């Protein structure tokens, strides 16, 4: 089975711009979660989607949003970018019927905000 894929892998934006990141889960996985990793920090949970519904959201400002499509692919959007948004954004998928199943990560999108 193909793993989780994320596009693009690298992105450079300037402050004030917006960005959309894409994630395709492992075939058959219906849950997609997004995380932000910054230097010295662990992975910070952004949100989780299952069957096009957001089931949980982390403590991030409203500039961070996401959605999931009927084929389980997911996108996250960050509007009005700030320098502090520079990070590795990771997507993970799981079967997640129960919510306590193993998550499998993609390679991440490295975002640099100038």
Residue numbers at the binding site for other proteins (CB under 8 A): 4, 6, 31, 33, 35, 40-45, 48, 50, 55-56, 58, 90, 92, 96, 98-108, 110
Q: Which is nearer to other proteins, 11 or 58 (CB)?
A: 58
DSSP per residue, 55-105? EEE-S--TTEEEEE-TTS-EEEEE-S--GGG-EEEEEEEE--SSS-S--EE
Q: Closest distance between other proteins and the C-beta of residue 16, in Å?
A: 27
Q: How far is the CB of 106 from other proteins (least distance, A)?
A: 5
Q: Which is nearer to other proteins, 21 or 92 (CB)?
A: 92
Contacts of 6 (CB under 8 A, 6+ apart): 21, 22, 23, 24, 89, 90, 91, 106, 107, 108, 109
Q: Which is nearer to other proteins, 7 or 17 (by Cβ)? A: 7
């Amino acid at each position: 089975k193909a793993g989780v894929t994320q596009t693009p892998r690298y992105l450079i934006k300037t402050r004030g711009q917006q960005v959309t990141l894409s994630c395709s889960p492992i075939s058959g996985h219906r849950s997609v979660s997004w995380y932000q990793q910054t230097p010295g920090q662990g992975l910070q949970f952004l949100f989780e989607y299952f069957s096009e519904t957001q089931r949980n959201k982390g403590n991030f400002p409203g500039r961070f949003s996401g959605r999931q499509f009927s084929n389980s692919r997911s996108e996250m959007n960050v509007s009005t970018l700030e320098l502090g948004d520079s990070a590795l954004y990771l997507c993970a998928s799981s079967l997640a019927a129960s919510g306590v199943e193993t998550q499998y990560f993609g390679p991440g999108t490295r975002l640099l905000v100038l």
